[in-house]
Structure 1
Amino acid sequence: MSILPNSTEQVLQSASSLSMEKQNVDTKKQEKKVESDGISNTQKVWTSLISGAIAGALAKTTIAPLDRTKINFQISNQPFSANAAIKFLIKTLKTEGLLSLWRGNSATMVRIVPYSAVQFTAHEQWKGILGLNGLEKEKPGLNFLAGSLAGITSQGITYPLDLMRARMAVTQKTEYKTLRQTFVRIYVEEGILAYYRGFNATMLGVIPYAGCSFFTYDLLRNLLAVYTVTIPGFSTSLIFGAIAGAVAQTSSYPLDIVRRRMQTSAIHGPINSQHYHTISSTITKIYKEEGIMAFYKGLSMNWVKGPIAVGISFATHDTIRDALRKLIVYQNQKQKKDN
């Protein structure tokens, strides 16, 4: 009679043991997914995507009037000066109204939201792939490479939208009314390859731009950590981002001039467009007609708008990302206590 209870007890103990082992395995799997900072890589990706998208949208909307002014000087033979830029802004206000200063900003938003989201996320992921997390000071070359690869990744995905934004920024509203109309008109009049006019120049330019931008920003943050006990806040990130933006803009600006000419040359007709089909022909034409300083036309405005945009972008991204991740860690810790 005593055999049955003992047998039943052994079966229950065995089942309980198997259940405990399964729970332990599941717990270990979850622990492997969650990294040392308390969040998983999946959570890192989506928090960086959200914060990057908001950061890019806010930064570009802030400097949109200056951006439109800069592009108009980049694609023309008119010499740039602060006085000429102010006259352009006043003329645009009088003839087209206040909102015209943000003309093309809808196209910018369509592009910059995915661009900025992908760029910040790609940078973090490339740093992980290259084994850089926490070792930026020891491996500056790889740190620069991670930034460049992030720029290439984001620019490659969103390039056609950048071209359409440039077209809308330098034309009257009657020529390209909407982003959809711009997309269709370019395809009908110039063909599908027109969406990638200036692509090579852009890729060459984004390597020093994104590389210098992320490298300088990380360098300044690391120096702050070494020589002070200050934790970088919004204002500190804003200043470091502004410095990074100035360095990045200066390093890549000549190629920015080249790509803008290639992107918008078709507006002035096929005869003008044929001189801007390749990087070499574009450089040659600009140099012969306008001289070496033409490659830096509007750079002084970029020293104003670039640092503002990059500073806002970095500071906003880091603030939102850190807030989201703190919330995730808090919720994870709360769940562990409840369990």
Structure 2
Amino acid sequence: MAIKGHDRETVQLSNATKILTSLAAGAIAGALAKTTIAPLDRTKINFQIGKQPYSTRKALKFLKQTYKQEGFIALWRGNSATMARIIPYAAIQFTAHEEWKKVLGVDGLKGKESPKKLFLAGSLAGVTSQSLTYPLDLARARMAVTKKMEYATLREVFSKVYEKEGLRAFYKGYVSTISGVIPYAGVSFFTYDTLKHLYKDKLEEKYSGFYPLFSLFSGACAGMLGQSSSYPFDIIRRRMQTDTQGKYPTIMATILYMHRTEGLWRALYKGLSMNWIKGPIAVGISYATYDNTKDSLRNLFIEKQNKKLSVERSV
């Protein structure tokens, strides 16, 4: 018995099974998406925290220099910290999104009639997952912008940050992060769900075999819109997360410093063009992988239940 992503509400599975499959699918989706774009992510962070103006040529030069000086694997430096964060983050975010939609009453087709609640469900999912995994995000950012000799392992990041900067340092940039997560997660989940409803209403009968590709396309659109709506907050949080010299103690101090040294609007949108490349790729892969992996896992549970019932009936 096969289930399509948009028909999964009709399948009778226990809530525990749904949560378990959502957690597993979210973890797989997050890991695959972030590993795919890790070199681009490292490049973006490097320009976000520095004064050097961004350009595609300079971004390619950074990738080339990193490869020559530190080797191919260095392009994925910090990815272990990314995995330590993204696996629980994505698992929590996707699962929280489904649970928040249930709480708000938009977990079925009613969602298309409640755009505000769909946006709210996405925002709350983002806030939930970001709050629970924020120290791992800070550690990943520190590893991405430093040499291996400074932070060799994820454990070393935590120990050094705690010794030198104290416990509060693990939540540097938290307010700006949450300020960015609310529009980002809200817009991206809302866009994805809206396009899925469009597929069911208008395209399902004619293009039923194209759902995986459509979910990839929908995720890419969601990623581009979500990233664009929240990018300045991403710049601010990266500056604050990687600050070890006290230059960015607060959001306002960060904004004023960027305004004085780089020009505010140029600094706030530095690297956005790269985000328009990596963001849609990452989110498209993430959403498509999540939907299709979750449906496959739930199919396995249903097939197992059907076999069990067949055996019981034949006895």
- TM-score where L is the length of structure 2: 0.93
- CA displacement 1:123-170 (0-9 Å, x = unmatched): 001101111122111000000000000000100000000001000000
How much does 1:328 deviate? Answer: 1.5
**Any residues of structure 2 matched to 1:76-155 within 5 Å, and which?**
76-134=50-108, 135-155=110-130
- CA displacement 1:52-99 (0-9 Å, x = unmatched): 000100000000000000000000000000000011011111111110
Amino acid at match of 2:74: S
What is aligned with 2:135? Answer: 160
2:287 matches 1:287: no
What is aligned with 1:216? Answer: 191
What is the rounded CA distance, in whole Å, between the counterparts of 1:330 and 1:98 in structure 2? 43
What is the rounded CA distance, in whole Å, between the counterparts of 1:60 and 1:205 in structure 2? 19
What is the rounded CA distance, in whole Å, between the counterparts of 1:141 and 1:122 in structure 2? 17
Aligned length: 299
What is the rounded CA distance, in whole Å, between the counterparts of 1:305 and 1:36 in structure 2? 35
Which segments of 5 or more consecutive residues in structure 1 lack a partner in the other structure? Answer: 1-34
2:174 matches 1:194: no
2:19 matches 1:51: no
2:152 matches 1:180: no
What is the rounded CA distance, in whole Å, between the counterparts of 2:311 and 2:69 in structure 1? 64
What is the rounded CA distance, in whole Å, between the counterparts of 1:97 and 1:43 in structure 2? 43
2:262 matches 1:315: no
**Any residues of structure 2 matched to 1:61-80 within 5 Å, and which?**
61-80=35-54
What is aligned with 1:243? Answer: 221
What is the rounded CA distance, in whole Å, between the counterparts of 1:329 and 1:38 in structure 2? 9
How much does 1:334 deviate? Answer: 2.9
> 1:328 aligned to 291, 301, 304, which one?
301
What is aligned with 2:145? Answer: 170
Which segments of 5 or more consecutive residues in structure 2 lack a partner in the other structure? Answer: 1-8
What is the rounded CA distance, in whole Å, between the counterparts of 2:53 and 2:21 in structure 1? 44
What is the rounded CA distance, in whole Å, between the counterparts of 1:197 and 1:133 in structure 2? 34
- CA displacement 1:159-187 (0-9 Å, x = unmatched): 00000100000011111111111110000
Amino acid at match of 1:225: K
- CA displacement 1:216-273 (0-9 Å, x = unmatched): 001111112121223452211111101100000000000000000000111xx3xxx1
Give the alignment's Cα RMSD to 1 decimal. Answer: 1.1
How much does 1:280 deviate? Answer: 1.3
What is aligned with 2:241? Answer: 263
What is the rounded CA distance, in whole Å, between the counterparts of 2:94 and 2:105 in structure 1? 17
What is the rounded CA distance, in whole Å, between the counterparts of 1:210 and 1:36 in structure 2? 26
What is the rounded CA distance, in whole Å, between the counterparts of 1:87 and 1:332 in structure 2? 55
What is the rounded CA distance, in whole Å, between the counterparts of 1:227 and 1:55 in structure 2? 27
Amino acid at match of 1:283: I
What is aligned with 1:7? Answer: none
Amino acid at match of 2:296: A
Amino acid at match of 2:70: E
What is the rounded CA distance, in whole Å, between the counterparts of 1:133 and 1:88 in structure 2? 44
What is the rounded CA distance, in whole Å, between the counterparts of 1:307 and 1:200 in structure 2? 25
- CA displacement 1:14-65 (0-9 Å, x = unmatched): xxxxxxxxxxxxxxxxxxxxx8521011100000000100010000000000
What is aligned with 2:11? Answer: 37
How much does 1:289 deviate? Answer: 1.8
Bigger relative CO (Cα 8 Å, ≥ 6 apart)? 2
2:254 matches 1:276: no
- TM-score where L is the length of structure 1: 0.86
What is the rounded CA distance, in whole Å, between the counterparts of 1:281 and 1:60 in structure 2? 31
Secondary structure, in 3 states, of the residue corresponding to 1:173?
Answer: coil
